[in-house]
Chains A and B, each alone.
Chain A
Amino acid sequence: MNRDVFGTLAAFPSEESYLAALRALGRAGYARIETFTPYPVEAEEEALPRPPSPVGWVMLAAASAGGGGAFLMQWYAARDYPLNVGGRPIDSWPSFIPVTFELTVLSAALAGVAALLWLSGLPRLDHPVFAEPDFARATSDRFFVCLLAGGGYSATAARDALLRLGPISVEEVFR
C-alpha cells in the first residue's frame, strides 16, 4: 500500500448519475468517501450521512459571549461615568438593548465564518484532487466521488468499483 495515495477520483456528468453512484458505493460497503460537487446536493445527505455540523453551537456560543459582553460593557460604562439624566436610573437597561443586539449578531456572524473556514481547513490553495486534469469542472458541471486511501483501500479494487458505475473518468490522485 502506497502511503502517498490520496484516493481514487471518478467524475460523473449529472447529479442523478452521481447520486446513483454514491448509493451503490454505500451498498457495497465503502465508508471512506469524499465528494466534490459544483453546488450543495441536498439528496447527498441520505446517501452519505455525516455527523451534524457543529457551526450552530459555535455561533450560539459566540452570540452569547458577544451579547453578554456588550451588555456588561454598557452597564460598566454607565457606572464608570454616571450621567444623571432627569433623575432616571443609572442602569437604564432598555436603552442598552440595541447595541447588545448588534454585537450579538456581529459576533455570531464572524464566528460562523471562522468556524466554516476552520472546519473546512481553508484557506488551503493546494490539494491532491487538483491534479485530476478535469477537476476544474468540479466547480461547474462535474460531480466527483473520491474513494479515500486508508482502511482496506486497494487501488485496483477502488478503480474497478468506480468503473462499474459508469463514470466519465477514473483517476488515482496522490498527496
Chain B
Amino acid sequence: MNATPPAEADSPGRALVAPGQTPESVTREITAIPLARPQSRFWWIGFLVAFAGVMVLCGSVAWLLFRGVGVWGINVPVAWGFAIINFVWWIGIGHAGTFISAILLLLHQEWRTSINRFTEAMTLFAVACAGIYPLLHLGRPQFFYWLLPYPDTMGLWPQFRSPLVWDVFAVSTYATVSLVFWYVGLLPDLATMRDRAVGLGRRRLYGLLCLGWRGQGSHWHHYRKVYLLLAGLAAPLVVSVHSIVGMDFAIAILPGWHSALFPPYFVAGAIYSGFSMVLTLIIPLRSVYRLQGMITARHLDLMAKVMMAMGWIVTYGYFCEFFNAWRSGVIFDRYVAVNRVIGPYAGYFWALMLCNVAAPQLLWSARLRRCLPVLFGVALSVNLGMWIERYVIVVTSLHRDFLPSSWGMYHATFWDYSTLLGTLGLFAALLFLFIRFLPMISMTEMRALVTKSDPPTS
C-alpha cells in the first residue's frame, strides 16, 4: 500500500522521506533535538522573547482582574470585542492540528506522519490560549463554574438551549480529547526517550511519563485500535467545535450573524487559518533543526494546496454573505453588507480581501509555491487575514444593528493589544518548551513509514 509509485518517490521534491532514512536514523535524528545539551542559541533567544510575552499576559490579566473588563475597548453596542475575536481566532488555529492528525489519518494520507505530532501540540496550545478569553470576558471569572451543571444550592441549571453553554462543553471536550489523543500517540515515543536519555533523572522522568511502555505486541494490538477510534471520534469533533462557535453568532438575531451559512463557513475558516499557522511554524523550524529529510518540500507543497482549497471555500463564504444579504431583501442585512465595504471599518474589510482572497492566489504558480519566502509570506498574510475576518464579523455587525440611536464605535485599547500579544507569547513559549522536552515528530509512525517506503534489500 505505497502511496507514491517508486519512480516518483525517487525524484527529489516528490518524496515524503529523504532516501537513506532507517528506523535507527529516525530515532537518532529526532531524539537528538530534545536531548541536545546545551540547547541552540535559536532556542534560548526564542524562548526568552516568548517568555517576555507570557509576562505581558500576566500583567495584562492582573490589571484586568484589578480594574474589570472596562480596561478593554468593549462597550454597549460592541460588547464582544477582542475577547471573542481572539477566542475564535485561536480556536480556529487549533483545528488544523486535529484535521491533520485525525481526518488525514482516516483518509490514509501518509504525508501527515511527520507533521501530526507538532500540529497536535499546536492545537493544544492554541486551545489553551483560546480558553483564556471567554473566562476573562465573563467579567467575574471566579464564577466560571456556574457554566457547569452541578448540584447547587440556588437550584439553577445552565441554559442548555444557549450556544454559549454548548461552547463550554465543546471547547472543554475538544481540549481533553486532543490532549488524550496526543498523549496516546506520544506513549511509544516517550519510551524511546526513556531508552535514549542520558542521566538517571531524565530516564526516570520519561519512564514515568511513558507509563512503562515496552512495545509489546499485545499492547500494540489494542493501541492501534484505540488510536484509530480516537481519530474517528476527533474527526467529527473538530467539525462540531467550530460549528458551535459559528452558532454562537448564527443563533443571535443580529444582521450579518443570523445565517445558516456560519457553521460550515467557520469550519473552513478554522482549517484555513490552522494550515497557515502550521506553515508559519514549520517553515522556520525545519530549517533550524535540519528536518528537511522528514518534512520535505512535498509536505509544504501539499499543505499549501490544502490551504488554497480552504481559502476558496472561505471566499465562497464571503460571496454568500453578500448574496444572501442582497437576496433576503431585508434592509438591515443589506445595510450591514454595505457598511462593511464602505463604512467606518472598510479598511479592515479591504485588508481582509487582500490577505485572505488575493494573496493566496500567488500559490497557483508551482514555482512560487515552492519558493519558501513566498509561501511563508502568504501563510503570515492568511494568519493576519483570518484575524481581521473575525474582527469584521464581530465589530461591523455589532456596532450598527437595527436602531441608529443605539449605534456606536469600537476601538481596541492598549490592554486589548497587550493581552493579544501576551497570548501569542504564551503560545510560542509552550511550543518552545514542547520542542525542548518532547520529540516533535512521531518516531513510531516515521519508522513504519521509512520501512514501508524504503524496504531494506536482503
Partner of A115, one of B177, B212, B222, B443: B222
Given A99-B169, A102-B173, A109-B176, A120 contacting B23 (CB threshold 8 A): no
Chain B's interface: helix, strand, loop or mixed, by majority?
A: helix
Proximity bits, A74-86, B CB within 8 Å = 1, else 0: 1001101101010
Given A36-B215, A40-B223, A125-B212, A109 contacting B180 (CB threshold 8 A): yes
Give the A-binding residues of B (Cβ under 8 A).
22-24, 27, 149, 155-161, 163, 165-166, 169-170, 173, 176-177, 180-181, 183-184, 188, 191-192, 194-196, 207-208, 211-226, 229-230, 233-234, 236-237, 240, 244, 247, 443-445, 447-448, 451, 455-456, 458
Given A105-B233, A108-B233, A117-B211, A34 contacting B218 (CB threshold 8 A): yes
Closest to A126 in B: B212
Least CB distance from B293 to A in Å reads 17
Inter-subunit contact B170/A35 (CB<8 Å): no
Given A39-B448, A53-B222, A74-B160, A139 contacting B215 (CB threshold 8 A): yes
The 9 closest A-B pairs by CB, nearest first: A35-B217, A123-B211, A136-B195, A77-B157, A40-B220, A141-B23, A140-B27, A98-B166, A120-B219
* A50→B196 CA distance, assembly (Å): 31
Chain A's interface: helix, strand, loop or mixed, by majority?
A: helix
Inter-subunit contact B225/A56 (CB<8 Å): yes
Inter-subunit contact B218/A140 (CB<8 Å): no
What are 28 sample pairs from A and B whose C-beta atoms fall under 8 A apart?
A16-B458, A37-B217, A38-B23, A38-B192, A53-B226, A56-B225, A59-B229, A83-B161, A98-B169, A98-B240, A103-B169, A105-B177, A105-B233, A105-B236, A106-B173, A109-B176, A110-B180, A112-B226, A112-B233, A116-B223, A119-B222, A122-B219, A136-B195, A136-B196, A138-B214, A138-B215, A140-B192, A140-B195
Partner of B447, one of A74, A96, A120, A141: A141
In the bound complex, residues from chain B placing their C-beta under 8 Å from that of A135 are 214
In the bound complex, residues from chain B placing their C-beta under 8 Å from that of A105 are 173, 177, 233, 236-237, 240
* A136→B220 CA distance, assembly (Å): 17
In the bound complex, residues from chain A placing their C-beta under 8 Å from that of B215 are 36-39, 138-139
Inter-subunit contact B213/A122 (CB<8 Å): yes
Least CB distance from B458 to A in Å reads 6
In the bound complex, residues from chain B placing their C-beta under 8 Å from that of A40 are 220-221, 223-224, 444, 448
Inter-subunit contact A102/B240 (CB<8 Å): yes
Least CB distance from A110 to B in Å reads 7
Closest to A76 in B: B157
